[in-house]
Amino acid sequence: MIIENTVEGVKRQVKAWKSEGLSIGLVPTMGYLHEGHKSLIDRAVSENDRVVVSVFVNPIQFAPTEDLESYPRDFDADCRLCEDAKASLVFHPDADEMYDGDFSTFVDMDNVTKELCGKSRPTHFRGVCTVVNKLFNIAMPDRAYFGQKDAQQLAVIRRMVRDLNMNVEIVGCPIIREADGLAKSSRNTYLSDEERKAALVLSKAIFKGKEMLESGISDGEEVLEQMKEIILSSPLAKIDYVEMVKWDSIEIHHTVDCPVLVAIAVYIGRTRLIDNFIFEV
């Protein structure tokens, strides 16, 4: 497995692979890899000749008040996981490699970024779209893999690729959970023992909401109310949002007459966690 820190090094390698007619899969990550990331890499390895995993904590998708500095990092462990999963190349640039001092060009998006995480983190998706666009230009993938864990991000990337006619297929992958239901996340490491227990209200609310929609309830308000009640049963939980939106456009929509995304963001202590499910009628 190749470890590469420079943009030019990755470009040289992917051009060589392309000239041999090999297909390339890309898995963008911020590192501190777990089974959720591994499921994306496994899928990419099964569908492409070569797989590039990027490990980059992208500064421009964090607001000044957020956890850029404290975001967990363990590059040696990440490389071991990538090697075991049979990735071909790990791209691990530093921030200066990705952003020149006079960097000036951003990819921004209307509509799909207005609600949910886009509302609480107004500059987040501009940073995500910009870095993902750069990674596509650097790794030139045939396919790129994103988790449904970050469902709005998946919808945003799909829209960007469609709107800007990018030549990459976006593959969405299911949420991987801990045995007790908590969605795996690098940020789970922030949780104390007590908070880790309290964090179960997220998946409990998600499972309850899903069960209600599956039982035929189509009133979104009723479902969201029940979910909020479950979350607020923990004194450590503070709701950022509990919402139902159209899955493709991420517009608020409280009737289940089209594919909907039910998404939540909840602070457990100081840690902001997200979870969701998609329901197709």
CA distances from 102 to 7, 24, 127, 136 (A): 17, 31, 16, 21
Measured in Å, how far apart are the chain's first and last C-alpha atoms? 43
Q: Of 63, 119, 111, nearest to 243 (Cα)?
A: 119
Report yes or no: 213 and 256 within 8 Å, Cβ to Cβ: yes
**Contact between residue 141 and residue 25 where contact means Cβ atoms under 8 Å apart:** yes
Q: Which residues bind ligand AMP (CB under 6 A)?
A: 29-30, 36-37, 39-40, 146-147, 149-150, 173, 175-176, 183-186
CB crowding 195-212: b at 16 or more within 10 Å, else e: bbebbbbbbbbbeebbeb
Judge whether 37 counts as a catalytic residue: yes
With left for phi above 0 and alpha for psi between -120 and 50, is residue 101 left, alpha or beta?
alpha
Residues ≥6 apart with Cβ < 8 Å to 183? 36, 149, 175, 176, 177, 202, 203, 273, 274, 275
Among the listed residues 34, 37, 92, 124, the single catalytic one is 37
Least distance between ligand AMP and beta carbon 158 (Å): 12
| Strand, coil or helix: 84 | helix
Torsion-angle region of residue 52: left (phi > 0), alpha (psi -120 to 50) or beta?
A: beta
CA distance 166 to 143: 11
140, 18 Cβ separation under 8 angstroms: yes
Short-list 68, 105, 276, 86, CA closest to 183: 276
Residue number, 27 or 256, with CB nearest to ligand AMP: 27
In angstroms, give the least distance from the CB of 195 to ligand AMP: 18
For the annotated catalytic residues, the residue numbers are 37
